[in-house]
A and B are shown apart, each in its own frame.
Chain A
């Protein structure tokens, strides 16, 4: 029973349904595991032990009474700390929100509670989800359980780290330019950026509103499908959530790859700046899919070369506008000055870290008179070209593939220059700009024994075919979803 925390969600649910373990056993095992490695991983901003145990007790009580439980009963989940949770502080790993206690649940959190997933805590992130290593957190630096000298990726690094350690079944992340997929890749997990509008953003602290999307981390494709099925759906509190119904993704998992047309994106395979092992994994992946009956060819998506450039105008522009609300007046930190304007400035000086300031200034610059046309308006046109180029590729291909990130996990402190850090997002950004879906699937280890993730892309609302390809790939690779338990020692 002490090992129950290592099980995948679906395995654990089977044990729970069979009556071998209770929800309280599961909650205690998960929180025990989290606490035993937290000093090494620094994955959590807040561990919600009391609430988790109360929730588990309630689930057990309802099970005993013969009530029908939610689809995630018997599983545990951690939530990125930029997603609102009633009564539990939601910090965005920023000093400016360090003591903010939401009075409402994000819609995804409400859905998790209704689905009976036990919420065990709030995970660390790059401040306001701006970063690719979780080193930009103002609160702590999360480490990768596969090698605690290395970063877990970012910005959802705490979520990735804790799922990879096996301490929880699932985590929620948010993905504005790769913040779910890149850490999933670095930590050997499945991470999904859903189609823009599939999952409600209500209660997600806004970064880039036309790019942000909440999505799942899990240890295998099936678990990810189970969770995304719960998260998907229209929400009247988010006018950008699509009003439509979704077929369960778990129905797509056994279809195999036969007949699938797979395109390798020419522009997102380096070779400059890409690890040889990562590029080799791309070839192996293509071979695996071919062996499963898919046809594989390369495809050129010319505008995707400009994704990074367009993104680092559009995302900061949206961020500079979204983060204007942190003015020290209604909630969050206030550093009192003589006037209201002084108070604004002092609060934001103390409350924001350097990366957040950098992006606010960059966005303000790109939106300011004289530069608007050259930067922001132009970037929006590039976005249209990217949408068109991807749509053209999908006329000939069902899914596209590329590495998730150019490298595997780097060492804490290794990447200091902001522009070098941004280059990490080169393969993940295009999906956010076009509003499509993409997921990272672990395909093996590099020469340093670090996980390599491969990305599968599909057009907007193409999650079914993407999960079909991902399940076939996972099957062919035979990558074991065993957590990185070395971190527990002895």
Chain B
């Protein structure tokens, strides 16, 4: 299997919204390489035609009647918000300047 490079690590860190320093890039690259080398052992197994398992149980959709039930109040839902205003979560600006 191909080796993970420092560019790969920078790329996945960006995808995962993790800010990492150049020093960390080197450390993480070496560590991830060692882990992936071990994980890569599975490539030796013949899995031709084997169904993948995503879950150990047979998963079924669970339905219930569409009846309004008690749930968290607005105050409860907002009680851990870093910032809230007028009953809403307040977040930094997402779209560009007006």
Which A residues fall within an 8 A CB radius of B?
99-101, 103-104, 196-197, 210, 236, 239-240, 242, 303, 306, 308-310, 312-313, 320, 324, 327-334, 336-346, 348-349, 352, 357-358, 360-362, 364-366, 368, 374-375, 377-385, 387, 417-419, 422, 433-436, 460
Contact = CB atoms under 8 A, between A and B. Distances in A.
B53 interface: yes
Interface string B78-98: 011111000001011110000
Contacts of B57: 196-197, 240, 242, 435
Contacts of A332: 80, 82
Contacts of A336: 92
Given A103-B77, A327-B17, A419-B38, 18 more contacts: A196-B57, A239-B59, A320-B16, A324-B17, A331-B81, A332-B80, A348-B16, A349-B19, A358-B31, A358-B32, A361-B16, A364-B16, A378-B47, A382-B47, A385-B45, A387-B56, A417-B31, A460-B56
Interface in B22-45: 28, 31-32, 34-36, 38-43, 45
B68 interface: no
B90 to A, nearest CB: 9
Interface of B: 1, 4, 8-9, 11-13, 15-20, 28, 31-32, 34-36, 38-43, 45, 47, 50-57, 59, 62, 64, 72, 76-77, 79-83, 89, 91-94
Contacts of A324: 16-17
For the complex, would chain B's binding face be called helix, strand, loop or mixed by DSSP majority? loop
Q: Is the interface of A mostly helix, strand, loop or mixed?
A: helix
6 contacts: A103-B80, A327-B17, A330-B80, A362-B36, A381-B47, A435-B57
A365 B32 contact: yes
Contact of B39 (A309, A331, A435, A460): A309
A155 B93 CA distance: 38
Contacts of B54: 210, 380
B17 A357 contact: no
Nearest to B31: A418
Nearest to A307: B42
